[in-house]
Amino acid sequence: MAVQMEVKLSTSRNDATNRPLEGLRIIEVSSFVAAPLGGMTLAQLGADVIRIDPIGGGADINRWPVATDSVSLFWVGLNKAKRSLTVDLRSDRGRELVISLICGAGGSGIVLTNSAIGWLSYESLSARRSDLIHVQIDGMRDGSPAVDYTINAATGFPMVTGPGEWNDPINHVLPAWDVACGLYASTALLSAELRRRSTGEGSQIRVALEDVALATAGNLGYLAEVQVNKVERPRIGNHLYGSLARDFTTGDGRRLMVVALTNRHWRDLQRVTGLADTFTALEGALGVDFSTESARYNHREVITGLLEPWYAERDFSEVAGILSESSVLWSAYRTFGQLLDDHLAKPEDSLLQEIDQPGVGSHFAPGSPISIGPRGMVAQVQRAPALGEDSELILRDYLGMAAGEIDDLLASGVVKGA
């Protein structure tokens, strides 16, 4: 009976065709980016993710950007395809409802959170359910608090971002460690579920933003470079470290990024710009071989200096047409508005679909970037829930509560609907 209820509940708003995680239920108690993104990643693949929020919403319910009526576009963007239950988490009764959804008869047995203290901790919940899968996202490895922007300051990346003559740190606007951490968490959760299905055992999983950032810096060779070569990576502006790539400006003022990673790219770049003989002569004068990435990187300033006039003498459409007929990798710089316009111009080949989001209205939003099945098949985008939209349905179908009991919880303020 529980399975039948689960399928019924998971199809009321999620009717995508590609749902490999159908039947998997997850309780999410979260805020900020990493945990909500991890939950949404799973929800867009068909998992029934129930987001638990305090009455009135959590710390990120009003985070910018916001719509004209103050509904957070940030919040609805990170909570698509989920369900929402709002509970007074300071009350014993409210906490017990959440614990029942996780550990009770027919409970999910899976929780994803970045606020696992006290009653929501692994120790507390696993005492109620031995096969519990508990995924906790931390800031620091020792459990102390941190956010993406404080973690990033300590990673070294702001000290190698920007032009070579710049001395101060430059932060990026993308919460990269949050994004990577959320994806690590979703992968870990699925791994634990596969293990539980074969062994019946639960798992305690912790993923820290600090560790994700450190692992990334190490995996990309940035830490080994300091240890082995005894040098700190320099700032190089918009060049690509170790290879040939940089931005250029066309005659009509457009900017584009051009990348020549391989020898094929390099040969094609010389051919389409008509500078092959010039670069051959330069090789002879410098006594180098530009067929190696290191030589192209070490002499990047003179190479790109010779390329600049070719771009400046042509408008963007001519440059785009020429580069598109070669193997050279390139892309025009775009604003978010231009990005949106370009994708709306080819809706048949875009993740973006129009949704009607409560409090926001009709707008285009992306679905999962994971495509399952024939190439080009895109799952239907499911909107985010309104805060507390599914409260009554969850209490009825998952906890088996009668209408009168649900009415009492609503009247007492323990639970709130949309």
- Provide the 8-state DSSP code for 98: H
On whether the CB atoms of residues 47 and 21 are closer than 8 A, the answer is: yes
Cα distances (Å, whole numbers) of residue 367 to 81, 181, 186, 348, 350: 9, 19, 16, 14, 9
Active site residue 178: yes
Distance CA 349, CA 344 (A): 9
Distance CA 103, CA 120 (A): 11
On whether the CB atoms of residues 416 and 53 are closer than 8 A, the answer is: no
Distance CA 94, CA 86 (A): 9
Q: What is the CA radius of gyration of the chain?
A: 26
Q: Of 88, 178, 268, 397, which one is the catalytic site residue?
A: 178
- Provide the 8-state DSSP code for 387: T
Distance CA 38, CA 52 (A): 15
Query: Three-state SS for 383?
Result: coil
Distance CA 285, CA 279 (A): 10
For 396, counting Cβ atoms within 10 Å of its Cβ (0-12 exposed, 13-18 middle, 19+ buried), the class is middle
Distance CA 69, CA 59 (A): 18
On whether the CB atoms of residues 235 and 164 are closer than 8 A, the answer is: yes
Q: Which residues contact 73 (CB under 8 A, 6 or more apart)?
A: 65, 66, 67, 360
Cis-peptide into 65, omega within 30 deg:
yes
What value, to the nearest 5°, has the Cα angle with vertex 123 and ends 118 and 125? Answer: 80
Could you tell me the two tokens for 270?
């010389």
- Provide the 8-state DSSP code for 157: G
Could you give the residue numbers annotated as active site? 178
